[in-house]
Copies of this chain bind each other. A is one copy, B any other.
């Protein structure tokens, strides 16, 4: 399951994608109201997205946030990874932040790894295969 924070992040990113434009800066307040996200919480999320180069921010008057790249170039998985961590089901099957499972007896002969690896690849294929632009377009139609 995603955390609320992760979903908020994705919704905010999609909002920015929907309003993306060369010099179009969107206010945190606007996103918070439109998406019903607690404003202060959203600010913290946007800072994390900024630190991870998903969004760019500008302070002061006429400031706000915008995507760092075109919506077509940012995957849903990119946003989720930043806020909720790796897509994998275990540290040992993560590609972006691989690490040992502390409760694993012997990684070399782990019975679970092959399936969990396949699961990770399947999740990543979907979430990395769908850009924010795709999400904007997908409203209403659940096929694709």
> Which residues of A approach B to under 8 Å, CB–CB?
1-2, 4, 7-8, 10-11, 14, 35-37, 76, 85-86, 88-91, 101, 103-105, 109, 111-119, 122-123, 125-127, 130, 134-136, 138-144
Contact = CB atoms under 8 A, between A and B. Distances in A.
B103 A115 contact: no
Contact of A10 (B112, B125, B141, B142): B112
Nearest to A14: B111
Given A2-B89, A126-B118, A109 B142 contact: no
Contacts of A37: 103
Contacts of A85: 1
Contact of A112 (B122, B135, B141): B135
Given A1-B85, A4-B103, A7-B90, A115 B126 contact: yes
Contacts of A8: 103
B142 A114 contact: yes
A130 B141 CA distance: 30
B135 A126 contact: no
A31 to B, nearest CB: 12
Contacts of A2: 89-90, 116
A111 to B, nearest CB: 5
A143 to B, nearest CB: 8
Contacts of A111: 11, 14, 135-136, 138-139
A81 B8 CA distance: 25
